[in-house]
Amino acid sequence: MSIRKRFQLISLVLAIGSSVFFTGCLSQESALVDDAAVVTIQNKGSDTIVNLALAWAERYQEYAPNVSVAVTGGGSGTGITSLINGTVDLANASRQIKTEELEAARENGIEPIEFVVARDAIAIIVHPSNPVDTLTLQQLSDIYSGKIRNWLELGGEDRPIVLLSRETNSGTHVYFLEEVVRLGNAEDTTLFSVDTLLLPSSEGIGTEVRQNPNAIGYDGLGYVTDDMKTVAVSKGEGEAFWPPTVETVNTGNYPIARDLYIYTAGEPQGAIKTYLEWILSAEAQQIVLDLGFVPVSYE
Amino acid sequence: MTKTQDTSASSSSDPKSGAAAEALTPIYEMHRSQASSLLEVVIERAIQTSGISAVVLVALIFLFLIKEGVPAFFEIPLSSLFAARWYPIEDYFGLISLVAGSLLVTVGAAAMSLPLGLATAVFIAEIAPSWARDFLKPFVEVLAGIPSVVIGFMGMLVLAPFVRTALDIPTGLTAFTGMLVLAWMALPTIVSVVEDVLDSVPKTYRDAGLALGLTRWQTIWRIVIPAGRTGILTALMLGIGRAIGETMTVMMVTGNAARIPTGLADIFMPVRTMTATIAAEMGEVAQGSAHYHVLFAVGLVLFLITFLVNLMAAVVVFRQTKRAERLLS
Amino acid sequence: MSRQIAQRIAFALITAAAIFVIIPIFFIVGYIVFQGLGAINWEFLSAFPRDGMKAGGLLPAIVGTLLLTAGTAIVAVPLGVGAAIYLSEYAKDTTTTRAIRIAIVNLAGIPSVVYGLFGLGLFVIFLNFGTSILAGSLTLGIMTLPIIISTAEEALRAVPQSFRLVSTSLGGTRWQTIYRVVLPQALPGIITGVILGLERAAGETAPILFTVAAFFLPQLPTSILDQTMALPYHLFVISTQVPGMPLSIQYGTALVLLVFVLSMNLIATLIRRHYRHQRVW
């Protein structure tokens, strides 16, 4: 084949290829306009909640096949920011919205409405071989602010403590900072120790804890797997130690328990409202339990 | 990228730049006045515009980074930006730990990568039998193709635990692990460029060495490599550029702790790089907030660093070409 | 020490270094194949993920990567080949040309995450495309531009001057010469460069993090303003964010991405080799 013919052939192939691509895209778009309207709900935010949100989205497809829920993570901060920017319908957050964020939303004409959709315990996880079983909140605060540096000081082996944490965009991180490192004291300005490893997400912590006997980490109960060990926590000296379980969260005994939230932009309407109501229903809450979180108790 | 950056680096010093076009220009102009059509004119305008596009884009990127990054310097006092602590959600914006983290990992990676890359290139170009050469060259390019997230994934699951147990350090997620991985990732760039450089050293140089009674190794070490030292320096610069810009891999293996490394032992402690910081935090910042601007400022710093590295490489090549021209004239 | 012994030692060290570099390549690819092959079956490649992405397949991620690659090509190829033609056939050695070359070298060196930042700032926010295939393709396209320009220009320059002379001697204008003579001859080299550039774009995560990537979408994207899943981001997410993710699925995803990227590499190499033999000069 001559060079020119070859060139023409290749151009032809490329032209056909791109036109197929475009036709495909366009026809899909028009096909959907013709069918019953497919509603997409944008759901974004907390990495703690993301797997739960995903499970909900998957199950909900069976009930409402024309509603599709798009789930993205990125951290509580990401979700709330998107809500403020008006690019998301449901923002998942493992911490409450901050005052600054509330103001920013109102400036944009958006009134965030809060829904508690599940509850969670923040489990303290260590390597299975770690002999330490119990810790007080004060000890946790000292560990994570860098005051206690060796497991020996806690009755464990002579090993340096490797601190694992979520990234700063995580609601879990913020919650831990406020309730554990700062012991709930709003005036306190203690920070995480500068040596704290900020890992990309929950599984990053899991991966390290599973194979590093020096490590200590924290994360939602839903992320604890059998190859990790959880530590029982007490509010203070002389108080009982409670392991993180669904029961201890429900009875209010576990000291580091929190609510998980979904925020909407204004009062939810239509498909979003239906979806939220379903999330608070018994079936969706059973999914909460299945994933290791704590269902919202309701009458 | 391997082949391509080497081309840019060498052709910018190519004195024949545009010679193909220039020589024929008079004839082209003559024919143009005879037979040009509207379509041709339109197409040629489009081509000229495409040509300028590269400059426009670089300028656009630079301006954007400035537009969104410079406000950080007004919103945040300089003393805070140069403080030791990076904890943006509580308004601690000390950039030093990030810059130090990036520099530590990059310098370490470059230090490991250059000798290894040089050795591998020498091996492929001078020592390996030709059947091996045909196989090795594309093989090293395979390494260039492996996505960074795959390497980070393996680094996190396999290398980090290994480093921890082998060196008996608290955790395997350290600057050192990052250096190892980055050095390895920069290798295809370095190997490719150096190999081309060695190839382009004239055979007469080697013949002269052998004629003088030097062994092959002495010829390589004392004649060929020094002859190619500009290109080798360029390769180093490109490797550095690759290392400092890497994001996903360092995010997965360096631990992301914003510490300022102060001593040699800190190589075996976690660090936080500029690139990982941007990737990890950008998603959550409210547009227009101080944090948002600071992250763009970090991006600006990265842009300027790579710009400087490229500039230095170009200057070195330029000087070497000038020297060569003087010698040969 | 005799020079012969010095040579032996030096060569041994160098060979050791080369082996040290090459062995891990085998190891990584081999290990991923070994661990991941078990997960590959038709369902894995053609179904949606289910059960919290711990089972099922990769279809949306594969389609997403294909769409983004196509989008990158649409953005980068016309612009890049055009710029290469300009540099090779039109440009004189002026300051503008030198500025263009410097710009290209700089574009090539910009870290991928800075491209992501730029894409976020310009396409997602300023031009209000939102996180979309459009924003992602534009970002990846600009990132791929320097590679395509460089390789395309190299391919164009490799065409001997005599070809152009013959064309002009027959009365061809500049564009006619390019279109009918130079470009067809340079085409294999250009295609190789384009494929290598697209290979890089397909494997990148940082530029798509804030411009297009989604954790989970229940259906395939239907317009360029939709978000999409993508293989590199998917691998990142399942290896760092989902508890209880079976290792076989993680390695399987890595394998699919690797195969996708490396087969592009292979195709490009084969094209290059084939046409090098076939070259008429």
When pLDDT is cut at 50, 70 and 90, the band that residue A18 belongs to is low
Find the mean pLDDT for residues A240-260. 87
Please give the full DSSP string across B136-152, using - where no structure is assigned.
HHHHHHHHHHS-HHHHH
Name the residue in chain C with its Cα closest to that of A199.
Answer: C240
Site from A78, A106, A189, A212 to mutate, B interface, most B CB atoms within 10 angstroms: A212
Structure tokens that stand for C254 in this block: 């890595």
Find the mean pLDDT for residues B11-24. 49
Q: How close is the nearest chain A Cα to the Cα of C242, in Å?
A: 6
Segment (H or E) for B87: strand B86-87
Segment (H or E) for A271: helix A270-279
Residue contact C111–B244, C-beta within 8 A: yes
Name the residue among C81, C200, C140, C24 with its Cα closest to residue B3: C200
Instruction: For residue C232, list chain B residues with Cβ-Cβ distance below 8 A.
Output: 147, 149, 248
Distance CA A17, CA A34 (A): 26
Q: Which of C74, C187, C241 sits opposite A50 (nearest CB)?
A: C241
Instruction: For residue C17, list chain B residues with Cβ-Cβ distance below 8 A.
Output: 115-116, 119-120, 123
Q: What is the pLDDT of residues C28-63, one digit of tens each?
A: 889 999 998 988 888 888 888 887 788 888 999 999
Residue contact A225–C224, C-beta within 8 A: no
When pLDDT is cut at 50, 70 and 90, the band that residue B1 belongs to is very low
Q: Which chains are adjacent to chain A, needing at least 3 Cβ pairs under 8 Å?
A: B, C
Find the mean pLDDT for residues B71-82. 88
Tell me what the pLDDT averaged over chain B comes to: 83
pLDDT over threshold 70, residue A12: no
Instruction: For residue C120, list chain B residues with Cβ-Cβ distance below 8 A.
Output: 282
Q: How close is the nearest chain C Cα to the Cα of B253, in Å?
A: 12
Note the pLDDT of residue B271. 93
Residue contact A50–C224, C-beta within 8 A: no
pLDDT over threshold 90, residue C64: yes
Instruction: For residue A47, list chain C residues with Cβ-Cβ distance below 8 A.
Output: 241
Q: How close is the nearest chain C Cα to the Cα of A87, in Å?
A: 8
Q: What is the pLDDT of residues B98-126, one digit of tens each?
A: 999 999 999 999 999 999 999 998 888 88
User: What whole-number percentage of chain C has pLDDT above 70?
Assistant: 100
Note the pLDDT of residue B60. 93
Find the mean pLDDT for residues B154-177. 90
Q: Is B80 exposed, middle or buried (0-12, 13-18, 19+ CB in 10 A)?
A: middle
| 3-state percent helix, strand, coil for chain B, nearest multiple of 5 | 80, 0, 20
Dihedral (CA of B238, B241, B242, B244) sign: positive
User: What whole-number percentage of chain A has pLDDT above 90?
Assistant: 28
Q: What is the pLDDT of residues A146-189, one digit of tens each?
A: 999 999 999 889 999 999 998 887 888 888 999 899 998 888 88
Note the pLDDT of residue C101. 86
Please list, residue by residue across B168-200, b when 16 or more beta carbons sit within 10 angstroms of its beta carbon and e when fewer do: ebbbbbbbbbbbbbbbbbbbbbbbbbbbbbbee
Q: What is the pLDDT of residues A67-92, one digit of tens each?
A: 888 888 877 888 888 888 888 899 99
Note the pLDDT of residue A216. 94
Note the pLDDT of residue A129. 92
Instruction: For residue B244, list chain C residues with Cβ-Cβ distance below 8 A.
Output: 111
Structure tokens that stand for A22 in this block: 């475009």
Tell me what the pLDDT averaged over chain A comes to: 83
* CB contact B166 to C (< 8 Å): no
Residue contact A57–C218, C-beta within 8 A: yes
Note the pLDDT of residue B239. 85
Find the mean pLDDT for residues B172-179. 92
Residue contact A57–C241, C-beta within 8 A: no
Name the residue among C40, C35, C58 with its Cα closest to residue C48: C58
pLDDT over threshold 70, residue B67: yes
Strands A162-166 and A197-199: parallel
Name the residue in chain C with its Cα closest to that of B299.
Answer: C114
Find the mean pLDDT for residues A78-107. 87
Q: How close is the nearest chain A Cα to the Cα of B285, in Å?
A: 7
Find the mean pLDDT for residues A243-250. 86
Find the mean pLDDT for residues B75-104. 89
Structure tokens that stand for C246 in this block: 């079976």
**ipTM, interface predicted TM-score of the complex:** 0.86
Name the residue among A113, A156, A130, A144 with its Cα closest to residue A256: A144
Q: Is A162 strand, coil or helix?
A: strand
Q: What is the pLDDT of residues B36-63, one digit of tens each?
A: 678 888 888 899 899 888 899 999 999 9
Q: Which of B171, B281, B283 sits opposite A197 (nearest CB)?
A: B171
Q: Provide the strand spans (E) within chain C.
A: 49-50, 55-56
Residue contact B286–A215, C-beta within 8 A: no
Residue contact A191–B164, C-beta within 8 A: no
Instruction: For residue B285, list chain A residues with Cβ-Cβ distance below 8 A.
Output: 77, 81
Site from A199, A202, A207 to mutate, B interface, most B CB atoms within 10 angstroms: A199
- Residue C236 near residue B149, CB atoms below 8 Å: yes
Q: Provide the strand spans (E) within chain A.
A: 39-45, 67-74, 90-93, 112-126, 134-136, 162-166, 197-199, 215-220, 229-230, 232-234, 257-265
Provide φ and ψ at C86, rounded to 5°.
-60, -50
Please list, residue by residue across A56-76, b when 16 or more beta carbons sit within 10 angstroms of its beta carbon and e when fewer do: bbbebbeeeeebbbbbbbbbb
Q: Is B215 strand, coil or helix?
A: coil
Helices and strands in chain A, H and E counts: 10, 11
Residue contact C219–A68, C-beta within 8 A: yes
Residue contact A194–B257, C-beta within 8 A: yes
Chain C, window 86-145: residues with a beta carbon less than 8 angstroms from a chain B beta carbon: 86-93, 96-118, 120-122, 125, 142, 145
- List A240's β-bridge partners, or say none: none
**A169 DSSP assignment:** T
Chain C, window 31-60: residues with a beta carbon less than 8 angstroms from a chain B beta carbon: 31-32
Note the pLDDT of residue B228. 83
Distance CA C111, CA A299 (A): 55
Name the residue in chain C with its Cα closest to that of B1.
Answer: C147
Chain B residues whose C-beta is within 8 A of a chain A C-beta are 84-85, 87-90, 92, 97, 156-157, 160-161, 164, 170-173, 251-252, 255-259, 269-270, 272, 280-281, 283-287
Q: Provide the strand spans (E) within C49-100.
A: 49-50, 55-56
Report CA A214 to chain centroid distance, whole Å. Answer: 25
Note the pLDDT of residue A19. 52
Structure pTM? 0.84
Q: What is the pLDDT of residues B274-307, one digit of tens each?
A: 999 999 888 777 677 888 899 999 999 999 998 8
Structure tokens that stand for C225 in this block: 């303003």
Distance CA C149, CA C88 (A): 10
Q: What is the pLDDT of residues C167-217, one digit of tens each?
A: 889 888 888 888 888 998 888 889 988 998 999 899 999 999 888 888 888
When pLDDT is cut at 50, 70 and 90, the band that residue A34 belongs to is very low
Q: How close is the nearest chain B Cα to the Cα of C80, in Å?
A: 7
Q: What is the pLDDT of residues C264-279, one digit of tens each?
A: 888 888 888 888 787 7
Q: How close is the nearest chain C Cα to the Cα of A239, in Å?
A: 32
When pLDDT is cut at 50, 70 and 90, the band that residue B32 belongs to is low
Instruction: For residue A81, list chain B residues with Cβ-Cβ distance below 8 A.
Output: 284-287
* CB contact C171 to B (< 8 Å): yes
Q: How close is the nearest chain C Cα to the Cα of A265, in Å?
A: 18
Distance CA A75, CA B27 (A): 63
Note the pLDDT of residue A145. 92
Instruction: For residue C242, list chain A residues with Cβ-Cβ distance below 8 A.
Output: 51, 203
Please give the full DSSP string across C135-147, using - where no structure is assigned.
HHHHHHHHHHHHH
Find the mean pLDDT for residues C246-259. 90
Pairs of residues, one from chain A and one from chain C, whose beta carbons lie less than 8 Å apart: 88
Pairs of residues, one from chain B and one from chain C, whose beta carbons lie less than 8 Å apart: 338
Q: Which chains are adjacent to chain C, needing at least 3 Cβ pairs under 8 Å?
A: A, B
Note the pLDDT of residue B274. 94
pLDDT over threshold 50, residue A33: no
Site from C5, C105, C144, C247 to mutate, B interface, most B CB atoms within 10 angstroms: C105
Tell me what the pLDDT averaged over chain C comes to: 88
- Residue C201 near residue C143, CB atoms below 8 Å: yes
Residue contact B256–A198, C-beta within 8 A: yes
